Amino acid sequence: MADAKIEEQKKLDKIENTQKLTEAEEKFERRRKTIGFFLGPALGLLIYLLPIEGLKPQAQMLLAVIAFTATWWICEPIPIPATSLLGPTLCIVLGVESAAKVFAPFANPLIYLFLGSFILATAMMTHGLDKRVAYSMLSLKWVGSNPARILFALGFVTANISGWVSNTATTAMMYPIALGLLAAIVEMYRVQGKEIDVSRYKYATGLMLMAAYASSVGGVLTPVGTPPNIIVMGFLEQLAHIKVTFFQWMVWGSVAMAAYFIVMYIVLWRMFPADVKVIEGADKLIRAKRDELGKWTRGEVNAVIAFAVAVTLWVLPGPLAMIYGEKDPLLVTYGKYFNEATVAMIAGLLLFLLPTDWAKRQFTITWKEAQKGIDWGTLVLFGGGLSIGAMMYTTGLAAWVGSSVVSLTGAKSLMSLTIVFAVMSLLMSELTSHTASTNMCAPLGITAAVSIGVDPVPVAVAIALASSLGFMLPVSTPPNAIVFASGLIPITTMMRSGFLIDLLGMIFITIPLVVYFVPWVLAIMK
């Protein structure tokens, strides 16, 4: 048994040939950071010195800080979270607002929604619940050893897990599963007396891309699936005083995820088909992995309990609101005491209370384990974005930017405004962090929509959805970088497949969904 495991690991190691940045790519990154380091403050100073009509001194100072911050978000001369702290700090030093007001958004309830979700996801991964779900679904008889169904199932499982667990963590989990399937293909050909170059095997590329792309697609399912979702929800509440509920997001998020996934699957299967009808040994490999997990542990059961509590309390108000109306006294009281952030914290804290071994006083998760799973950088980035967004509103900069964007682009309808900001969000997400790009685009889109009197919700949702369509480059998202490191995906191949999915997703899903479906959902839930 031990020898078999060693042999299997050797096969995986042979396939997992980590590819580092090329010399040209390293030079590009170094230049990008160096240029950005000096360009950020220079751009900020230029905007501060320029005479800009219609802007109060505080608003112009804030615009200068935003230009500085946005440049450093894009070029990353220092870590993005550090830049997110620098922007608000400069606003205090330069007299835009007081420290109490500038730092208040760092305690926004939505940050605690993130925090509780991180703890919940960490418990699921710590006890292997995510792997049990993945292997159980991949081992279904329907999947078997059919390469087309394996590709579909791998993507389907990845997308659904990513709706609740971070995109990066989901890809990190599914990546070795995909490598294991490739090992089964290599073994199948070896038994047949054939040797294949996995780096040139199309189906191998398709599996790797599916593990990454499905993680990004799955993130649109729920507000906690990916940071841009909560970011736009926060800006909508802050800048337009519109609250989007967890259930509302899931309604259009589930439709968007299903539609994106279908497009993605068709593209990947067409571009990277398998040359066999059956991958011998694939079903046995997955079943063996599933059986290795053994019986359900107490930790897994506790994680399911906490997860079920969270999802139930998050989703329940939605159907009740459709039946009784949002202003029903019972629902108003429920929302007061069990808002999304409170529910996330309840579920997360439950994990510290549910024991796995009471005699030893061991509980489902320890604080040390929780700390490892909390993405503090995302929390800081989110707080920094909300802080700057709040100041844009109080200084009058938001109204000025909104009217300027409208006059510059000529966008004066919901459709045109959605297209402008969806494309802007997508392009920026291809080149920098999708979280940072959403922090930059969301306030602009929302204020522009408000300035021309159209509903800002579809525009904001379009920005969030488009930011999850960054499929072209390894730097676009961490999932892309993880699978690119396998050495099985040529950069030109990722660009071709990513561009096609981006284009089809934007034209046939993002724009129609937010312009027609989102307003319809909001209308029937009033």
Q: How far is CA 234 from CA 111, 152, 180, 475, in A?
A: 9, 34, 40, 26
Most confident of 29-33, 166-170, 195-199, 232-236: 232-236
Burial state string for 231-247 with b = 16 or more CB within 10 A and e = fewer than 16:
bbbbbbbbbbebebbbb
**What residues have CB less than 8 Å from 193, skipping those under 6 apart?**
none
Is 134's pLDDT higher than 90? no
3-state secondary structure of 356: strand
Question: Which CB contacts under 8 angstroms, 24+ apart, belong to 104-107?
Answer: 104/387, 104/390, 105/238, 105/383, 105/386, 105/387, 105/389, 105/390, 106/380, 106/383, 106/384, 106/386, 106/387, 107/383
Q: What are phi and psi of 244, to 5 degrees?
A: -100, 125
Structure tokens at 321: 């609101």
Q: How far is CA 282 from CA 130, 152, 154, 195, 293, in A?
A: 20, 14, 12, 18, 18
Which candidate, 305, 288, 89, places its Cα nearest to that of 181?
Answer: 288
Tally helices (H) and strands (E) across the chain.
Answer: 27, 2
Identify the pLDDT of residue 485.
77
pTM, entire model: 0.84
Residues 472 and 165 sit within 8 Å (Cβ to Cβ) = no
Write the pLDDT tens digit of every residue in 308-346: 999 999 988 888 887 877 778 888 888 888 988 999 999
Residues 377 and 344 sit within 8 Å (Cβ to Cβ) = no
Average pLDDT of the chain? 86
Is 280's pLDDT higher than 80? no
Identify the pLDDT of residue 8.
45
Identify the pLDDT of residue 275.
79
Binned at pLDDT 50, 70 and 90, residue 464 comes out as very high
Binned at pLDDT 50, 70 and 90, residue 92 comes out as very high
Residues 398 and 443 sit within 8 Å (Cβ to Cβ) = yes
Write the pLDDT tens digit of every residue in 19-28: 445 566 678 7
Which candidate, 314, 213, 217, places its Cα nearest to that of 256?
Answer: 217
Tell me how far apart the terminal alpha carbons of the chain are, to the nearest angstrom: 60
Is 186's pLDDT higher than 80? no
Which region among 47-56, 184-193, 329-338 has the lowest average model confidence (pLDDT)?
Answer: 184-193
**What residues have CB less than 8 Å from 251, skipping those under 6 apart?**
318, 521
Q: Please report which helix (H) or strand (E) contains residue 68, including its range.
A: helix 57-75
In angstroms, the CA 206 to CA 211 distance is 9
In angstroms, the CA 462 to CA 465 distance is 5
In angstroms, the CA 242 to CA 235 distance is 9
Q: Please report which helix (H) or strand (E) contains residue 74, including its range.
A: helix 57-75
DSSP string across 199-210: GG-HHHHHHHHH
Write the pLDDT tens digit of every residue in 347-398: 999 999 999 999 999 999 999 999 988 888 888 988 898 898 889 888 988 8
Structure tokens at 11: 């096969």
Q: What are phi and psi of 357, to 5 degrees?
A: -150, 95
